[in-house]
Amino acid sequence: MASRSSNRLVVPEAKEALNQFKLEAAKEVGTPLTNGYNGDLTSRQNGSVGGQMVKKMVEDYENRIK
């Protein structure tokens, strides 16, 4: 049975921008993320990319409300 992802973009046109953001975050934390297959990366590496993305989003929000 094929799994269905519940991760749906609210604005589908933003997909490319989100992918670029993810690649930039990966570069900042030193994770060799690519546009293709990344199944050889560890959970820790993938988690560091997600954590960096959240950190940057929070910083951006804090700068906007000042």
Q: How many CB atoms lie within 10 A of CB 49?
A: 21
* Res 40: pLDDT: 94
Distances (CA, A) of 17 to 22, 23, 24, 33: 9, 10, 11, 16
- What is this structure's pTM? 0.77
Read off the pLDDT of residues 4-56 as tens digits, 9 standing for 90 and up: 767 777 888 888 999 999 999 999 999 999 888 999 999 999 999 999 999 99
Q: Examine the pLDDT at 3 and tell me if it is beyond 80.
A: no
CA separation for the pair 13, 11 (Å, rounded): 5
* Res 2: pLDDT: 62
The number of residues making up the chain comes to: 66
Q: Examine the pLDDT at 1 and tell me if it is beyond 60.
A: no
